[in-house]
Structure 1
């Protein structure tokens, strides 16, 4: 959070009154009969939050992320890509990406990342971004991993201003300004340029792009400051991705899976609208009521007439009231009401597997069709009390009561945080809490899942020590442990109730330690370094067999630094080194039972091998200038400057000449060295 207090009329009034009181006292001694005029200056409590928080500003400046606020999380300890350099959502401290929750302006959100891993947010509208990696408080629900809390900034009261961004990969425009004395707005739109570098119609290795990938997104906000105590905000957000490629019988994919031969087209889109009312009262009272509507659509066509079509509509109503009560207590009361409807239809060949299966090909089902809807209502009430016991101790206790009508489950989750300020420089913290989330949607659909599945659950524990070395340097260390229960397990042919496809007979754990060293800005540079050790596994409760999770990354190190050379130039560097993730090796081939002239890979023990060590160095330089009297900034970046070969997995690569004993295995490489240039101008 931004710790800088806005300079408003209230603070100005305080500064004015101090010398006025001194003068008044002196005059009263000389002219006792003169009347002294009283001056009262009132400030407004509903000040708009228009500036970036200091921490978020540092995150946006990280080299190699194209000023993408959410991509900065991969420079934090304990966070890794779930899909390598090519994209994928973040995995936090050994949890699945599906275990995370995302909030935009206090409303739950599901569509945060584009298909290629970049986030949907324009850097110019993000005010604050916070990652809660574990043991978060009672305000957040439906998550057993981490919580990503994104706060978009308020519009600025200024003359209409336009910002234009242009780079090799994306272009964008943003308009912002005041409408009246107490009303302002902004609107941002961005569109990818990747399709300009991927020509349509050219065939290569059996693949032909017929629709080059295009992504776009938008954010808009209109705010009305009502009086000095109320704030009404209207918000819109949206994004889409579309792309298409033809898979021929001559392609690697076509040889491995003939069912995929044909046109593959993917289209995703979401649009959301929200309205928020905030009241700022005496004594730290804050009241907020937020209503949101979200529509999301996913269309996927592939193979010979196979398709998946999902329409999701979601309504959220959230209320929160904060007040100071008794002595040294801050109380937060809140409620969350959510209504979701999934309308779905499909004609597809299902694969009944999870992210902890050895071989999904062996769990192939018969082609099936269905059209139905799933309705899910969630009700939650929470309370959180922060008690400043004395100068050395702070206790935060919370409860969250939840009810989900689809799973027919009710929960009472406890949350606890205890801080001991052992000295002016040392703080020791202990956090613990229980959590749950809605099951993965594909595991609870009627024909291809088990509607009776329970919600996955988790217990989080964290112990931290923070040490303020001096005004510049800060160090912290945190130990954590997650106990995971009721995870989905795919059923084998010889399992009882195999027709249910999934059960809750999977559990797991994640544990680790993280160390961070930060340096604040001084002598024109700042930065941080982190190193973490972790261990993540899953246990099949049927067989009592424990194996490492595929995202298990024992060692992870990050170094980030930024240097301000002069008023025009600044430079940044980011280095990431981490252990290779786990993978299941291919140890041979077997005949494809559905296509006798084709082969399928035979896999070894689940997650028994480790990928090579990952290392990537990103460099960046920013140059500020002016064109035609307007501010401009050039960004020059070199991604993966050492051109490291970073592998995210190995796959069977048929060429048409393979046999059961003679076949090709190739590595899936990440991004090589990639230069990037961007220009940002303000009009």
Structure 2
């Protein structure tokens, strides 16, 4: 994009105001419209808070997602993956490290296991929101996307036992009231896929990716008082992955094992202080342990303890819905390593880094303070305006931010809505990068971004919905690469997302999602500009399910995405000092891998028995067994050579399972 185009886009961005999901304030005698971002399921409702919200339930049985509604989010418009279907989500041109994941107010660094299945059981999910750009004032330290999950409360009236037995994952949920005011549930799941499929890689790839192993758990106890609720929540996840050399003579050079562990607990308080005032507070503590070990003796281990407080006070006064809150976070981090810790250049394939011949250690405390306030004004029954401000301080980087946010909503007809949103945002470098560059903290900066979108939603009486959004993000950041080289990046990304959907409730339901995006990243000082690898030109998903009589359902999902860009290998040279082989790369990210394409099919049968309900299902993943090449790497091979090695996605796999739901025990 040239400078004139850039100025035009930024000028338009100032006019593109939008709206976050949720209810609007109610003018006297009016009905509050229910609003959603392009994929937001947590619409305000007075339904039983111990049950999954209807919109969330509609994603539960998506073909290919094996009863994981959060995984279905990855097939919705604006959401792609940067390097294959096993990688973290990429949201509208921002990197996977730029996202914010919240589970009932608990910030977590990764919401997904290594197979892209979520670390939260669907049996305990109440709602989940996906905010893809220009977020509401309550969200800070994020430029990518926000996935905000709400857990359901334990049932106050009935005991439940759910038992899930499947080839990919098995687990159980036990739920029971304790007294009239106290109830509790607990859930545990284990990945069993490694018992049926040992490895992913095929062909002549140097590295073989073994099937990951994982566990997760979640539990909640609630005390319900008069207009007040107190919750105790615990959740955690464990993952282990392993890559080994295909050839035995390389087993001492290639291969690594990684384990990740999360254990979190939280106290939540919700109170209806008055007819028009509510208070919500969550205090959480998390233990994080990530350990990567290479066969040559190198390792990287990061341990962290994170204490976080998230709070919000909301008040409705006439045509105004006011909200204000405080978010605090403190993370005590320790990084131990030996060998090389890579720090990759965003504009090039190769990575610099820090090297330690003997074990080394870095410690740092990362602290953030956020304050926000907003007012949503019902100017008329049709027109609503939201104004907000997000203020933040990064104590480690000694940076302060004042970020305005605004949105507008207009109901043109009973079925047609127009909305827009704009705001300023920032995201700090990842903790591992901050730890490595601890001594250079005064030279590091958070990434800053101006974001905007404009959209429309049309709802037909028969349930069909057509929603489109045009969005824009820019960013700028100064970062350090390896030896202290400082580089100023800037760039912009823009796109169009289209969603045609019919929710569950009739025989036929599903959605079609289509996204177009483009963008670039540049270093003006060096005259270097490359395509944004996180903005695939085209991505599309079609998912459909038909419900037959007697509890039978048949569904299919097809996913397409443009191939991931990569930097080609031009040749080899040798380090002048050590003689070690060094690769010579071509133009950064100038070529693309083959397009990603995958078809999944699901068949299920629901039967009712005296003890409860049983669901039988078969998920056929990657029906045509397509070899979808993901991210390209260049590992060292024998005889001092470096050749390409492509990570692969999920191969053909049949997942059979049966879910028992016992009620009224």
TM-score (norm 2): 0.86
Per-residue deviation, residues 188-224 of structure 1 (Å, max 9, x unmatched): 0011113424679xxx999999998431010000001
Change in CA separation of 1:561 and 1:212 when aligned onto 2, cut-off 3 Å:
closer
1:352/1:365 contact within 8 Å kept: no
Mark the CA change 1:578 to 1:673 in structure 2 (over 3 Å): closer, same or farther. Answer: same
Specify every segment of 5 or more residues in structure 1 that has no aligned partner in the other structure, as ranges: 9-48, 255-260, 492-499
The structure-2 alpha-carbon separation of the partners of 1:418 and 1:544, relative to structure 1 and needing over 3 Å to count, comes to farther
- The count of residues paired between Structure 1 and Structure 2 equals 618
Cα distance in 1 between the residues matched to 2:197 and 2:623: 23
Give the aligned partner of residue 437 of structure 1: 427
Shift of 1:527: 1.6
- Hey, what's the Cα distance between the residues in 2 that align with 1:133 and 1:578? 18
Q: Relative to structure 1, is the Cα distance of residues 448 and 181 closer, same or farther in structure 2, using a 3 angstrom cutoff?
A: closer
Distance 2:333 2:47 in 1: 47
Q: Deviations over 1:530-582 (max 9, x none)?
A: 21110122111321321102223101111111211124211221111222221
The aligned residue for residue 40 of structure 1 is none
Contact 2:120 2:218 in 1 (8 A): yes
Correspondence for 1:310 among 296, 302, 314 = 302
Q: Residue 269 of structure 1 corresponds to which residue in structure 2?
A: 261
Q: Deviations over 1:71-126 (max 9, x none)?
A: 112211111122313x1210001100111001111232213222332210111111
Match of 2:653 in 1: 674
Selected match of 1:425 from 407, 415, 425: 415
| Structure 2 equivalent of residue 63 of structure 1 | 63
Residues 161-190 of structure 1 deviation map (CA, whole Å, 9 limit, x = unaligned): 221111112111110011111111110001
Secondary structure of the 2:115 match is: coil
C-alpha contact (below 8 Å) 1:586/1:601 kept by paired residues = yes
Contact preservation (8 Å) 1:443, 1:502:
no
Question: Which position in structure 2 is the counterpart of 1:15?
Answer: none
Q: Any conservation in 2 of the 1:252–1:654 contact (CA below 8 Å)?
A: no
Any conservation in 1 of the 2:102–2:147 contact (CA below 8 Å)? yes
Alignment of 1:525-544 (within 5 A): 525-544=508-527
CA contact (8 A) 1:206 1:251 kept: no
2:490 to 503, 507, 511: 507
Preserved CA contact (<8 Å) 2:541 2:559? yes
From 546, 550, 553, the counterpart of 1:563: 546
Q: Is the 8 Å Cα contact of residues 165 and 679 (structure 1) preserved in structure 2?
A: yes
8 Å Cα contact 2:302/2:432 also seen in 1: no
**What secondary structure does 2:59 align onto?**
helix
1:382 is matched with 372
Query: Which position in structure 2 is the counterpart of 1:322?
Result: 314
Mark the CA change 1:487 to 1:66 in structure 2 (over 3 Å): closer, same or farther: farther
Check whether the contact 1:552–1:582 (CA below 8 A) recurs between aligned residues: no
Counterpart for residue 145 of structure 1: 144
Instruction: Give secondary structure in 2 for the equivalent of 1:442.
Output: helix
Cα pair distance change 1:190/1:354, threshold 3 Å: farther
Question: Structure 1 residues 668-677 or 65-74, which shifts more?
Answer: 668-677
Q: Aligned to 2:404, which of 411, 414, 418?
A: 414
Normalised by the size of structure 1, how large is the TM-score? 0.84
What does 1:158-237 correspond to in 2, within 5 Å? 158-197=157-196, 213-226=212-225, 228-237=226-235
Instruction: Provide the residue aligned with 1:258 in structure 2.
Output: none
**1:278 to 2:270 alignment:** yes
**2:620 partner SS:** strand
Secondary structure of 1:444 counterpart: helix
Number of the residue aligned with 1:241: 239
SS at match of 2:218: strand
| Cα distance change on mapping 1:288 and 1:602 into 2, 3 Å | same
For residues 363 and 474 of structure 1, the distance between their equivalents in structure 2, rounded to whole angstroms, comes to 49
Residue-by-residue CA offset, 1:601-655 (whole Å, 9 max, x unaligned): 4321111112222221111011112578442111111111122232214455887
Other-structure match for 1:606 = 588
Give the conservation status (yes or no) of the 8 Å contact 1:102–1:109: yes
Instruction: Report the Cα distance in structure 2 between the residues aligned to 1:372 and 1:652, rounded to whole angstroms.
Output: 28
With over 3 angstroms needed to count, the CA separation of the structure-2 counterparts of 1:102 and 1:667, relative to structure 1, is closer
- Specify which structure has the bigger relative contact order, considering alpha-carbon pairs within 8 angstroms and separated by 6 or more residues: 2
- Counterpart check, 1:155 vs 2:132: no
Deviations 1:3-28 (A, max 9, x none): 585479xxxxxxxxxxxxxxxxxxxx
- Kept in 2, the 8 Å contact 1:56–1:129? The answer is yes
Contact kept? 1:172, 1:188, Cα under 8 Å = yes
Larger radius of gyration between Structure 1 and Structure 2: 1
Q: Structure 1 pair 593/153, CA: closer, same or farther in 2 (3 Å)?
A: farther
CA contact (8 A) 2:190 2:215 kept: yes
Q: Secondary structure at the match of 2:441?
A: coil
Task: Indicate whether 1:350 and 2:348 are aligned.
Answer: no
Moved over 6 A (4+): 204-212, 592-595
**Distance (Å, rounded) in 1 between the aligned partners of 2:569 and 2:332:** 40
Quote how far apart the aligned CAs of 1:368 are.
6.0
Determine the C-alpha separation between the residues in 2 that align with 1:531 and 1:211: 33
> How do 1:461-540 residues align onto structure 2 when only pairs under 5 Å count?
461-488=452-479, 490=481, 501-503=484-486, 505-521=488-504, 523-540=506-523
* CA RMSD, 1 decimal: 2.9
SS in 1 for 2:474: strand
